Amino acid sequence: MVAGENQKGRDMSNGAATRVQRSREKILAAAERLFLQEGFLGASMDALAEQASVSKQTVYAHFQSKEALFLEVIAAMTGGAARAIGEDVEEPLDDRPVREYLTAIAIDQLDIVMTPRLMQLRRMVIGEVGRFPELGRSLYENGPLVSIRRIARALAHYIAIGQIRDCDPARAAAQFNWLVMGAPTNAAMLLGDEAIPSRAELHAHAGEAVRIFLCAHAVAVDRD
């Protein structure tokens, strides 16, 4: 980091670096589109180069191999989704009622996850679990697991202040998570993007899920 070298032209404010970056971005964008659509085996590097409006040689100048490119694209999407989930988290305040908090969390998650892009990613990763098990694990840990952990933390808080009955927060959080996400994701996995419910439907579903969960776990029971 001393003087010259400008290693791969990446840290200059613009100029040659931008050309490299432009190519790279075009390749990544095309790769995402193509891999999501065709899968790892179904996507060809020739098609990729063409869709990226870039020569095949340039693709290989940027990425070691098809597999390396694939892994990088998927890792980027997985990480991006994880960041999106963690973003506008409103941590539970003492005065925020459980129902309100859980509903907000549920809606938030559904809105972020139930998109064609993420459903396609999920399908792809599931289909490639045999070939790339680490992708499945990564998607699980960056998706459901972070959500569940966050909910568990919140539930622990609500148990502490006496709004939720005593129980294992982790188990309860997992139950809540799948109560919310189970039906829509599973349907979307098998039925395709057209099966993704509308926002309105998702919000109604979130409300129902919260209602059921609170019937079982709230201290003050209001069954409707």
Partner DNA sequence: TATCAATTAGACTGGACAGTCCAGTTTGAT
Partner DNA sequence: ATCAAACTGGACTGTCCAGTCTAATTGATA
Residues that bind a copy of itself (CB under 8 A): 37-39, 41-42, 120, 123-131, 133, 136-137, 139-140, 144, 165, 171, 174-175, 177-179, 181-183, 185-187, 189-192, 208-209, 211-213, 215-216, 221, 223
Report 44-73 residues binding DNA (CB under 7 A).
44-47, 53-58, 60-62, 65-67
Residue 104's binding partner, choosing from DNA, a copy of itself, none, with beta-carbon cut-off 5 to 8 A by kind?
none
Q: Rounded CA gap, 99 and 219, in Å?
A: 12
Quote the CA–CA distance of 61 and 208 in Å, as a whole number.
52
213's contact among DNA, a copy of itself, none, with CB below 5 to 8 A by partner kind, is a copy of itself
Residue 189 as a binder of DNA (CB under 7 A): the answer is no
Residues with Cβ < 8 Å from 92, sequence gap 6 or more?
98, 101, 154, 157, 158
* Distance, CA of 216 to CA of 223 (rounded, Å): 9
What are the start-end ranges of the H helices in the chain?
16-42, 45-51, 56-62, 66-87, 98-113, 116-127, 133-142, 144-160, 169-191, 199-217
- Which entry of DNA, a copy of itself, none binds 4, CB below 5 to 8 A by partner kind? none
Work out how close the CB of 21 gets to DNA at its nearest, in angstroms, rounded to a whole number: 8
Examine residue 198 and tell whether it contacts DNA (CB under 7 A).
no
For DNA, give the closer residue by CB, 49 or 196.
Answer: 49
Is residue 18 involved in binding DNA (CB under 7 A)? yes
| Cβ 151 to a copy of itself shortest distance, Å | 13
Closest CA to 93 of 138, 3, 157: 157
Nearest to 143 by CA among 122, 120, 124: 122
Does 14 help bind DNA (rule: CB under 7 A)? Answer: yes
CB atoms within 10 A of CB 15: 10
The residue (of 63 and 176) whose beta carbon lies closer to a copy of itself is: 176
As a whole number of Å, the CA-based R_g of the chain is 22
User: What does the DSSP assignment read for 45-61?
Assistant: HHHHHHHTTS-HHHHHH
Shortest distance, position 110 Cβ to a copy of itself, whole Å? 14
Q: Does 15 bind DNA (CB under 7 A)?
A: yes
With CB cut-offs between 5 and 8 Å by kind, which of a copy of itself, DNA, none does residue 167 bind? none
| Closest distance of CB 20 from a copy of itself, Å | 32
